[in-house]
């Protein structure tokens, strides 16, 4: 192990996701295992600028593996986007004796880590925490599996009402730029249609699909809509359009919103977070810096953090084909 890394900071940044606490726990306990000091940085980059630090040991992360959100809090930092703000952050890090930082977050957090490292030569390591599963270099991000389960459970409950009242429900889920949640949860919950940013279904095709469903004997339907879908201006405009063209449908809208980010993480996310935390700390101790920890084919891998920031993820075309077959 590399003795140059004696004290590691850990922070959560950007939007919260289930599994972040499990990752914090893993980083802290891996540091303790390797006799390396660990410091929690509160409120992300803003906390780094303000020197909002707390020494952490193995006992300080008791009973958090099952908790959603992040005990280290998270915040957007306008100050960190300035050179002066980053200079202050670097000074605070050195003053605290930090030799490296593990950043748990998404592409915005990794962009900050990349710039910080380039400007000051400071070792950084990323752990992908976002429910959108839209980070290049890893098959899964922390929180994605939990969010899927939350959405599927919600849709199952909405379907009970839809069936009872012969209604059509548009269920909007998170996914401003990518449709991973909508596509996977839609297939998993048996949705009649799935609208995602990557595939513009078009209003006419949606109407034809709903007509076919009606003729086949379906009295209720669920349409899962990613918030970034381009089929309509928004989910409420889609509702109005369907009501105007298919007056026989009683249409409702349910926006799941931030409930998708909350809740106790799934077993998958807890195990993934634990593995990522170990890989992050041990990679830093081995002298590897400026990477993001990922998982591919069940194996932990490292992806250069600039590739994680600049790389583009692709929607699963095979799953789109499966969804088309399942909605027949």
List beta partners, residue 163: none
Handedness of CA 296, 264, 266, 187 (dihedral sign): negative
* Residue 217 predicted with pLDDT over 70: no
Which pLDDT does position 214 carry in this prediction? 76
Tokens 């592409």: give the residue: 107
List beta partners, residue 303: 292
What's the rounded mean pLDDT across residues 90-108?
97
Which pLDDT does position 249 carry in this prediction? 87
What's the rounded mean pLDDT across residues 182-202?
91
116 Cβ neighbours under 8 A, 6+ residues apart: 86, 89, 90, 122, 124
What letter does residue 315 receive in the DSSP assignment? Answer: -
289 Cβ neighbours under 8 A, 6+ residues apart: 100, 117, 123, 124, 125
What's the rounded mean pLDDT across residues 29-50?
98
For 99, the 3-state DSSP assignment is: coil
What letter does residue 14 receive in the DSSP assignment? Answer: S
| Tokens at 52, concatenated | 């909002």
Q: Residue 301: exposed, middle, or buried by beta-carbon count in 10 A (0-12, 13-18, 19+)?
A: middle
Give the percent of the chain with pLDDT over 90. Answer: 83
Give the separation between CA 291 and CA 309, rounded to whole angstroms.
Answer: 11
248 Cβ neighbours under 8 A, 6+ residues apart: 214
The closest alpha carbon to 16, from 70, 66, 71, belongs to 70
Which pLDDT does position 164 carry in this prediction? 86
Residue 2 pLDDT grade (very low, low, confident, very high; cuts 50, 70, 90): very low
* Residue 248 predicted with pLDDT over 90: no
190 Cβ neighbours under 8 A, 6+ residues apart: 159, 222, 326
Please state, rounded to an integer, the average pLDDT across all residues of the chain.
94
* Residue 110 predicted with pLDDT over 50: yes
The closest alpha carbon to 179, from 151, 220, 205, belongs to 151
80-89, 118-127, 147-156, 234-243: lowest mean pLDDT where? 234-243
Which pLDDT does position 297 carry in this prediction? 93
Which pLDDT does position 293 carry in this prediction? 98
What's the rounded mean pLDDT across residues 93-118?
97
For 291, the 3-state DSSP assignment is: strand
Q: What digits encode the pLDDT tens for the residues 262-286?
A: 999 999 999 999 999 999 999 999 9
DSSP 125-170: EEEEB-TT---TT-S--BTHHHHHHHHHHHHHHHHHHHHHHTEEEE
Q: ∠263-112-46 over CA atoms, to 5°?
A: 70
Which pLDDT does position 219 carry in this prediction? 62
For 311, the 3-state DSSP assignment is: coil
Give the separation between CA 223 and CA 92, rounded to whole angstroms.
Answer: 50
What's the rounded mean pLDDT across residues 179-207?
91
N- to C-terminal Cα distance for the chain? 56
- Residues known to be catalytic: 132
Residue 326 pLDDT grade (very low, low, confident, very high; cuts 50, 70, 90): confident
What's the rounded mean pLDDT across residues 80-88?
97
32-41, 51-60, 156-165: lowest mean pLDDT where? 156-165
* Residue 120 predicted with pLDDT over 50: yes
| Tokens at 323, concatenated | 């969804």
* Residue 201 predicted with pLDDT over 80: no
* Residue 1 predicted with pLDDT over 60: no
User: Using an 8 Å Cβ cutoff, are 68 and 18 in contact?
Assistant: yes
327 Cβ neighbours under 8 A, 6+ residues apart: 191, 192, 193, 194, 209
Element (H, E) at 100: strand 100-105
Which pLDDT does position 324 carry in this prediction? 87
């Amino acid at each position: 192990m590399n003795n140059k890394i004696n004290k590691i900071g850990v922070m959560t940044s950007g939007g919260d996701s289930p599994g972040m606490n499990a990752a914090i726990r893993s980083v802290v306990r891996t540091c303790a295992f390797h006799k390396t000091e660990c410091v929690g940085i509160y409120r992300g980059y803003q906390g780094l600028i303000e020197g909002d630090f707390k020494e952490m040991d193995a006992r300080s992360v008791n009973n958090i593996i099952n908790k959603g959100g992040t005990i280290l809090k998270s915040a957007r930092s306008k100050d960190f986007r300035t050179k002066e703000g980053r200079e202050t952050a670097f000074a605070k890090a050195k003053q605290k004796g930090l030799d490296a930082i593990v950043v748990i977050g998404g592409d915005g957090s990794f962009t900050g880590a990349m710039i910080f490292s380039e400007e000051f030569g400071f070792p950084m390591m990323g752990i992908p925490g976002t429910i959108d599963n839209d980070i290049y270099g890893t098959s899964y991000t922390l929180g994605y599996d939990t969010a899927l389960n939350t959405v599927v459970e919600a849709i199952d409950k909405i379907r009970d009402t839809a069936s009872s009242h012969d209604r059509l429900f548009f269920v909007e889920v998170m996914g401003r730029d990518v449709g991973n949640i909508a596509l996977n949860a839609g297939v998993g919950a048996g949705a009649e249609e799935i609208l995602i940013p990557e595939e513009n279904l078009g209003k006419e095709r949606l109407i034809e699909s709903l007509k076919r469903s009606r003729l086949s004997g379906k009295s209720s339907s669920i349409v899962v809509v990613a918030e970034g879908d381009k089929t309509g201006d928004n989910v409420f405009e889609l509702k109005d359009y369907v009501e105007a063209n298919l007056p026989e449908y009683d249409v409702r809208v349910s926006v799941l919103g931030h409930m998708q980010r909350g809740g106790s993480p799934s077993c998958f996310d807890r195990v993934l977070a634990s593995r990522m935390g170990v890989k992050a700390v041990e990679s830093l101790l081995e002298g590897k810096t400026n990477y993001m920890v990922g998982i591919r084919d069940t194996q932990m891998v490292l992806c250069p953090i600039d590739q994680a920031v600049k790389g583009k993820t692709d929607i699963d075309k095979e799953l789109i084909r499966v969804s088309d077959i399942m909605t027949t």
